[in-house]
Structure 1
Amino acid sequence: MKQAFPVITIIPDKRRSKENTLFPLKLRITFKGERKYYSTGFNASLADWETMETKNVRGSLKNIYHSINDIKIRAQLCCNSLSSFSFQAFETAFFPKSIPTTTVQIAFDQYISKLKQNEQIGSSHSYRNACISLHKFKPNLKFKHITVEFLKNYEHWFLQRGNSITTVGIYLRSLRAIINVAIENGVMEHADYPFGSRKYSIPMGRNIKKALSLEEIGKIYNCELDPYSVDEMSRDYWIFIYLCNGLNVKDMCLLKYKDIQGDFIVFQRAKTIATRRIQSEPIKIAIKDDIRKIISKWGQKPIHSESYIFPCLKIGMSLEEQRLKIQLLIHLVNEHMKKISHNLGINKPVTTYYARHSFATILKNSGVSTEFISEALGHSSLKTTKNYLAGFENDAIQKNTDLLLQFKL
């Protein structure tokens, strides 16, 4: 007959031995035919275990014996205190939560470490910046401090220092991810979750138009620049990004000659590789004559298939070195594109991001489906693509509703 109360013992776990024939000493609880094992943090050989069972122990073995016996007694007292035993109730009562000792800083550090292991270097820097900002507002920040009132006060403090509402959203989405992990790990109670309906809503940044018209792109494409100057290189890189499905600068720098397959460039987005375990469909870019010319003009000699097309990166660079080089190139191209567009009378801060948005919005305005644009951009969902295009919906509404008054013409 199965017992109606738990039986608690300490045993050497022979299922897997430690080095030098040491076995983990486990707290074993048996209840109604079910057994569960819990670590005590101690190991012993079978000979030492037999010695401890006789209670004829001395020296270090004596200390181990008293420590594991104390664990057994505390476990028994914990079980006795439960009105109704279950393994979950025991675990909740016996193992202390880490809220008093676990700070938000530690949680961020652990999350950032995982991002780096997953080669998500850009994301790791973004989370680091969020952590630094939050701790400037509240030094030694703990999970118990994070309330709806705290988040509202942080947002106000952050904006008062001239920062953007978009950056607030980025930092607090990072914090929300940290809190979700903390709740999963039992570090924070779900009841204390400060985000959501009737709590704190993370602000959305203004959806500012970041695209050019075909006329403006034509001005950039046709402008005369000094041959082989930095201005010309920056313009050509911008046009390359625009024609290549609006790929981002990192993906452009990572392109290799092996990615050129006939009349297409076929590649996986670096962001996609880092965030998804299951490989998604690759992005295909139709190679137009202008793309070939830019590769021929600015690309480096293809020593072998693993050679990068453009001379920004070198094989063997660390991820941090790659990130720095890519950031420097983005800054260089953006500075020169702003100068070029200003000289052309384009009153927009033209950056590489404008090339990506222009690709998407011009296709959309030409009647191309959102599904095709989403796939070309490498977005994980249509929602992301719709956010890209949202700032241009008003223009489309104005243009299309003009048709209602065509009878006046």
Structure 2
Amino acid sequence: MKANILLNTTDRKKSNFFPVIVNVSHKGKRMRKQIGISIPEDWDDVKKFPLPTHPEFDDLYVRIAEIKAKSITSKFTSINDVKIALAYLLKEGESKNKIDFIKFSRYQIKKLRQSNRNGSAFVYDKIIDDFEHFKPTCDFGEITLVLMERYKEYCKDKGSKNSSIKTYIAGIRRMYNLCCRLNGIPNERPFEGIGRDLYHNKRRGKNIYISKSTVKKLENLKLSSNSQQRAIDLMLLQFYLGGQYLKDIYYLKVNQIYNGRAFIKRLKLGDKAEEFDVKIFKKAQKIIDRYALKDNVYVFPWSKGDKEYHKFRQSHYYTLRRVFKENQIETLPKNAAVVTRTPRHTFATIGKFKGIDVDIIRELMGHERNDMDTVYKDKFPQKVKDKAHWEIIKT
């Protein structure tokens, strides 16, 4: 009976990390089990150990050392069944519950940042920070329904809103499910029914849009405040460029603009994003020219970075609300507060009202596609899409 440890770089599970495998073999029969994950930069491929830079170095190093020590004992080498031998090496069910859940979560957040999914990483950082404050050390096996009920009460006691508590618990649940999946651990479903008493009024952000006449009113609005004018300009630019997300406009680079078109990748999708392009019509170009600086990497000169963007977005959001309130600008369908996605929903809604093919609208907006859509993407000629684009934004 033989055993070895390896980082299986031929079996990619996610963007940049790979499974750490223990493999046993005997007389032509093999069996393997995943015991962790790593990226090549955190792995010593000669010694078959994690490097000190690995987020789970302490736990994974000790576990591999124990497996290697047991693999050279006479008890292990005398076993004739690979299944029994693997179970002997791993002590099934014992060590898995000792996985440091906080460290595991931090490692996943690191992976999100490496794949440029900074927005998701920012959210998960806040969630894990809060959970760690509640329970500074937490092994995987400690996550039970009882613990999560205690965490829910902890959140309530410190004044968190029900909607925030549900968001935090949902984030912890995703990390728990991922840990189960990557480590082959049975899911004990410790979140079953945890949010049933967390009632809250759901925002109808997806339905908030403005009419074409309101778009025209915004175009003709005269504002004395520079911050208010900037907020309206950005909202209109989102709409003019196909209802793009505020973040994609904020981080738009000069080299993404070529030959009168904007070539966009949705930042929220990270490395999975596919590039698409939209025409820059005159009224969009006018706004770009108003703020763009020469010899700058980004079209807009505002400070870049996660913290800077979130601060900017919050200020932008409240400024928009103030402009809409002071100028009695109505949103549809129920005059709810304007949100940063309103330009996106406005573009889609006006397009549908005009009877434009939904697939054309989706291509202009850079919407995610399923596999069938991907096969037939870009099936519409550029002229057809540009014509539909203008029909939506012209006033």
With the length of structure 2 as denominator, give the TM-score of the two structures.
Answer: 0.66
User: Which residue is 1:235 aligned to?
Assistant: 232
Q: Distance in 2 between matches of 1:126 and 1:28?
A: 37
Amino acid at match of 1:31: H
Structure 1 contact 234–332 (Cα < 8 Å) conserved: no
For the Cα contact (< 8 Å) 1:249–1:352, is it kept in 2?
A: yes
| Letter of the 2:319 counterpart | H
Name the structure 1 match of 2:88.
93
Which of the numbers 252, 256, 264 marks the counterpart of 1:255?
Answer: 252
Match of 1:190 in 2: 186
Contact preservation (8 Å) 2:70, 2:89: no
8 Å CA contact retained: 1:334, 1:352: yes
> Does 2:204 match 1:208?
yes
Partner of 1:405: none
Aligned counterpart, 1:311: 301
* Partner deviation per Cα, 1:9-33 (whole Å, 9 max, x = no partner): 99xxxxxxxxxxxxxxxx9965223
Aligned pair in 2 of structure 1 residues 159, 213: CA closer, same or farther (>3 Å)? farther
**Alignment CA distance shift 1:70-1:105 (3 Å):** closer
User: Which residue in 1 is equivalent to 2:276?
Assistant: 283
Q: Which whole-Å deviations, capped at 9, do the CAs of 1:302-352 have from their partners, x for residues lacking one? A: x3xx73221124xxxxxxx52233223223322321221111123643232
- Aligned residue pairs total 314
Query: 1 CA distance for matches of 2:103 and 2:67?
Result: 29
Partners of 1:328 and 1:354 lie apart in 2 by 19
Report what 1:224 is aligned to. Answer: 222
- Contact 1:219–1:344 (CA under 8 A) maintained in structure 2: no
SS at match of 2:98: coil
Find the aligned partners of 1:163 and 1:200 in 2 and give their Cα distance: 16
Residue deviations 1:271-298, cap 9 Å, x none?
A: 23x242xx62x23222222101111212
Q: Percent identity?
A: 20
The CA RMSD measured in Å over matched residues stands at 3.9
Compared CA separation, residues 150 and 356, structure 1 to 2 (3 A): farther
Q: How far apart in 1 are the matches of 2:321 and 2:3?
A: 73
User: What is the deviation of 1:239?
Assistant: 0.9
Give the letter aligned to residue 215 of structure 2. Answer: I
Give the alignment partner of residue 358 of structure 1, picking from 346, 352, 368: 346
In structure 2, distance between residues paired with 1:68 and 1:126: 36
| Equivalent AA in structure 2 for residue 118 of structure 1 | S
Structure of larger gyration radius = 1
Match of 1:131 in 2: 128
Instruction: Answer with 340-349 or 146-155: which moved more.
Output: 146-155
Amino acid at match of 1:146: I
Letter in 1 for 2:278: I
1:1-400 matches, within 5 Å, as 6=1, 31-34=26-29, 71-72=70-71, 74=73, 76-78=74-76, 85-86=81-82, 88-96=83-91, 97-151=94-148, 154-155=151-152, 158=155, 162-186=159-183, 189-194=185-190, 206-209=202-205, 211-214=208-211, 215-226=213-224, 229-272=226-269, 274-276=270-272, 280=274, 282-301=275-294, 303=295, 307-313=297-303, 322-346=305-329, 348-381=336-369
Q: Does the 8 A contact of 1:341 with 1:348 survive in 2?
A: no
Higher normalized contact order (CA 8 Å, seq sep 6+, divided by chain length) = 2
Q: What amino acid is the match of 2:112?
A: L
The AA in structure 1 aligned to 2:185 is: E
The 2-side partners of 1:154 and 1:176 are apart by 13
Residues of 1 paired with 2:68 and 2:227: CA distance? 74
Cα 1:149–1:205 shift into 2, 3 Å: farther
Contact 2:23 2:30 in 1 (8 A): yes
1:284 match: secondary structure: strand
Instruction: Give the deviation of 1:366 after TM superposition.
Output: 3.4
Distance in 2 separating the partners of 1:69 and 1:345 = 72
